Structure 1
């Protein structure tokens, strides 16, 4: 192990009030973290004591700044994974770790990674966890570095494993006490990482939280490439602008909102919605500006996006976008002028290693077969045999927003049911180690119209006030902790409808699959007492 730089705490003897009760030993141990620290292929870049309430600038991140929610030691590590690749890992080690359960949590990534989710590190360290994050082996949210196969391997699987080892070593070294329990939480790409750990490394974490997991890779990239061609660029006949997509959502609600028994702008079970965009078709002489209708080409676009995707010879590729999801976060624009970041980069820097590859003009279903038939260093995380996890005694909690436009929730239903079939276990047989919670109104990881804040990964950055207003004990993370440490298996996940300032506007207890949320027939739909869990018919 090599030490390149250690950043010392500058106010060692003039401590402000926030640090008045912090032992000087903690601060000195932080400044001198590198002394005696050893982990394979790991270099300590810095160790800095940070006060609660400090606004931490993050010039090399996807986040401008974050506010510390605890007094902690911030340790930055570099783990070399090959002669041409490395993973940057951060460990945020709070002062109150030992009396908060001596736990560690690894925070997953989003998209193409390259960004540590510092908001999640601040949130978790504020709860007393040793919070660990990493950059997946490259810098920034783009995929240009994947032309190096070693960097791609880091993104697929290696970065999580080496960051896990480094994070555990850093935690044990700093506190000079073995950690009690370790947890992994992640959404989207982080959810893919979570499932991959559960499938391939089930002994690494006592509890794993997989939110909206990108399990079927590269099916997602194929589907987005097909969407890109279907929608076209802004100004093309097939393109819908934001106002038109919002009109599609309004029409969806007009046709389907009452199916669940209450008109609240939320579809509790979007699969029951048989939406007909044909009813929005312009008649002779009608236009969008005058009549709020859609052309035939635009109606066909909506139908394509809502339908399952098939490839050559009827090959099933991926579920369609769920009704009621498209405007949940404005992410429908990714299928217009901003489309291609995912599939375009994957095709350019992984599939063909050709930065000039043009998705719109060159992609076809033969390319889709090429993408689907290659292992891509094990990018899939859809293995349906979780017998290793079952034998380990560790736990997997999965949830997915039912208004998710980026990763259709049907993918998680499909994965859960594939595990059930492969292991010949009904839901009651899976319950001891694997539970799945569909979350109505939740968009992709965060956002949405209803009670979608469940205290999970990638949620605090959208609703920073919720970290203070929503009881941490009701969070998905702490539900997982209670399951692991107290054998209190969650039957529901508490969701909160959160205002712009973090205030609570409503609550709902989301049911464990295969039960479904059902309105009792009366009462305020924002009151969790107005709902119950019943068996699916």
Structure 2
């Protein structure tokens, strides 16, 4: 039986990197491996915090290998699933969630299963298919108290990691050799939370576009959308989709005058900006202002003010300025900020109810952040939320000393989760360790040109981040260039460890990764 221990805020409760199997004492022989159908008996006591609801042998079907499918609960409300392939590679991979979770990430589990991993995922303690727990409603203290918030913040992932490894070690005759975390967005935050609080849970972490400063991430909605939606979301954006695309076209291709655009700054005109921070686009200078009669190829004073506000962020409360380059790209502003037709911008959809149920004590079920957010007071009313959801601690010394590794990545054209935040976290970690070189020993960061939130966009965002992580953890092969592809094409491009960037050789095929090398810009 496996009773679940209490979880403190950041102690050493995690399992070991080799699966938490533990050693048997004296000459006691190791327990016999349990068949899939017999796993439920291991947790059959009602006194245990873990209950296995089902354990089923699944035959090979279509593109999924034969495997054991285990479903269960922890503490009554945390649902989890574990898949264990018949042909096992000896490794465990836990996958993260997106948004506010509320469901098990079966698709990501299946991807890991196809590669031979035993794999697991959790709904983080609430069920999004139940209306009262969907979105951020699970955080309604009047109905659920604080337990579900803590589970979503950090507890559910940690407990699921412990339980999953126990199940895997009980099923196979050999113990887990290596354990990996793989997640983007909320899954990126979960990965950093694990690395900071429970680094023993995994040996390697693939962390993408992490929403690690959760409270600041929610504040990006009013910081950006208050400039655009003066009459509420239903009233439409001050900047129309056509003007949005005009701005994006100027950013990339120039204005026909003194500003040539930033697409070709890296020597290749390919619909990508290698590093937006070197783009000298100025909305006050490079986009024409309309005269009294207006026009389709210019901005009115109101449109210009809204645009400047979006780029600026809220430096008074550390909401970072948004880089240029995602204005008219797939997965950019057309999804997150200014949509076509009547679609609701994704930034609003994801953030709105967090202000009602997750950020403040007590909850504010009727709160409208577009009209009611008080910038002088509300950012300072989130201390409980910061302690629960934010994975901002840069002190990874215990992590590094234990030999753990992280590959982090973020798309440059991600307006949903500002890529500047990931650069900020990396800089904060460097401040703790004293130098970039010290951080490079255990953390690699990849800023991906043209990639939106976790994937998509005009860039080469199809990348296997776990394979180089595995080589680093198991063979000491330090990651360098990692090749990405563009879905639907034969085009490839190397992604370089920050601060290096891919430099074109000036002669080869621009769609071949071999035509580029990683170099640190001057």
Q: Residues 441, 511 of structure 1: CA spacing in aligned structure 2 closer, same or farther, 3 A cutoff?
A: same
Q: CA separation of 1:382/1:195 partners in 2, compared to 1, >3 Å: closer, same or farther? A: same
Matched residues in 2 for 1:367 and 1:135: separation?
33
Report the alpha carbon displacement of residue 294 of structure 1 after superposing the two structures with TM.
3.0
TM-superposed CA distance for 1:38, in Å, is: 7.2
SS in structure 2 at match of 1:31: helix
**Aligned equivalent of 1:77, options 72, 75, 82:** 72
Structure 2 match to 1:104: 92
- Which residue number in structure 1 is paired with residue 24 of structure 2? none
Quote the Cα distance in structure 2 between the aligned partners of 1:70 and 1:245.
46
Partner of 2:459: 450
Asked whether 1:270 is paired with 2:272, we answer no
Once the 2 structures are TM-superposed, how far is the Cα of residue 211 of structure 1 from its aligned partner? 0.7
Contact 1:238 1:297 (8 Å CA) reproduced: no
* 1:236-293 deviation per Cα after TM superposition (whole angstroms, max 9, x unaligned): 58533434323322111012112112211100101111223344345225545xx343
1:430 match: 439
- Structure 1 residues 346, 177: closer, same or farther in 2, change over 3 A? same
Alignment of 1:51-450 (within 5 A): 51-53=59-61, 69-80=64-75, 86-97=77-88, 100=89, 102-140=90-128, 142-147=135-140, 148-232=145-229, 233=232, 236=235, 238-254=237-253, 255-278=261-284, 279-284=286-291, 286-287=293-294, 291-311=296-316, 315-324=317-326, 327-330=329-332, 332-335=334-337, 337-338=344-345, 339-350=347-358, 351=360, 352-371=362-381, 373-424=383-434, 426-450=435-459
Conserved in 1, the CA contact under 8 Å of 2:332 and 2:414? no
Task: Describe the shift of the 1:29–1:374 C-alpha distance in structure 2 as closer, same or farther (beyond 3 A).
Answer: closer
How many angstroms apart in 1 are the aligned matches of 2:291 and 2:404?
Answer: 62
**Post-superposition offset of 1:514:** 1.9
Secondary structure of the equivalent of 1:186?
A: strand
Structure 1 residues 532 and 371, CA gap change in structure 2 (3 angstroms): farther
SS of the residue corresponding to residue 192 of structure 1 reads helix
Instruction: Give the CA deviation at 1:372.
Output: 5.1
Q: Is the CA contact 1:267–1:324 (under 8 Å) kept in the aligned structure 2?
A: no
Cα distance change, pair 234–333 in 1 and its aligned pair in 2 (3 A): farther
Maintained 8 Å contact 1:282/1:293: yes
Following superposition, the deviation at residue 358 of structure 1 comes to 1.6
Correspondent of 1:521 among 506, 510, 513: 506
Q: Distance in 1 between matches of 2:383 and 2:327?
A: 29
Q: Return closer, same or farther for 1:371/1:250 CA change in 2, 3 Å cut-off.
A: farther
* 1:191–1:212 contact (8 Å) kept in structure 2: yes
SS at match of 2:494: strand
- TM-score calculated relative to the size of structure 1: 0.81
* Aligned counterparts of 2:108 and 2:380: Cα–Cα separation in 1: 36
Picking from 505, 511, 518, the partner of 1:533 is: 518
> 41, 48, 59: which is aligned to 2:49?
41
Instruction: Single out whichever of 196-205 and 330-339 deviates more from structure 2.
Output: 330-339
Partner in structure 1 of residue 473 of structure 2: 484
Contact 1:231–1:240 (CA under 8 A) maintained in structure 2: yes
1:93: how far off? 0.8
- The separation in 2 between residues aligned to 1:508 and 1:261, in whole angstroms, is 14
* 242-251 vs 165-174, greater mean Cα deviation: 242-251
Cα distance, 1:300 vs. partner?
Answer: 2.0
Cα distance, 1:139 vs structure 2: 1.5
Where structure 1 has 5 or more consecutive residues not aligned to the other structure, the ranges are 3-27, 55-67, 455-474
Write the mapping of 1:7-22 to structure 2, written as runs, cut at 5 A.
none
Partner secondary structure for residue 284 of structure 1: coil
388 and 345 in structure 1: CA distance in 2 versus 1, 3 angstrom threshold: same
1:51 deviation in Å? 3.1
CA 380–347 in structure 1, closer or farther in 2 if over 3 Å, else same: same
| Distance in structure 1 (CA, Å) of the matches to 2:352 and 2:189 | 20
More strand by proportion, 1 or 2? Answer: 1
Question: Aligned-residue CA RMSD in angstroms?
Answer: 2.4
CA contact (8 A) 2:251 2:324 kept: no
Distance 2:57 2:300 in 1: 60
Tell me, in whole angstroms, the C-alpha distance in 2 between the residues paired with 1:36 and 1:70.
25
The answer (yes or no) to whether the contact 2:209–2:410 under 8 Å persists in 1 is yes
Question: Does structure 2 conserve the Cα–Cα contact (< 8 Å) formed by 1:325 and 1:443?
Answer: no
SS of alignment partner, residue 133 of structure 1 = strand
- Give the superposition deviation at 1:415: 0.9
Equivalent pair of 1:237/1:298 in contact (CA under 8 Å)? no
- 1:144-193 Cα offsets, whole Å, 9 max, x none, are 01113110000101011111011101111121431111000110111111
Deviation at 1:451, TM superposition (A): 1.2
- C-alpha distance in 2 between matches for 1:294 and 1:198: 46
Return the TM-score normalized by structure 2. Answer: 0.83
Residues 325 and 165 of structure 1: is their aligned pair in 2 closer, same or farther, counting only changes over 3 Å?
Answer: farther
The number of residue pairs the alignment matches comes to 463
SS of 2:35 mapped into structure 1: helix
**Cα separation, 2, equivalents of 1:408 and 1:522:** 34
- Residue 439 of structure 1 deviates from its aligned partner by 1.2
Q: Are the counterparts in 2 of residues 305 and 321 from structure 1 also a CA contact under 8 Å?
A: no
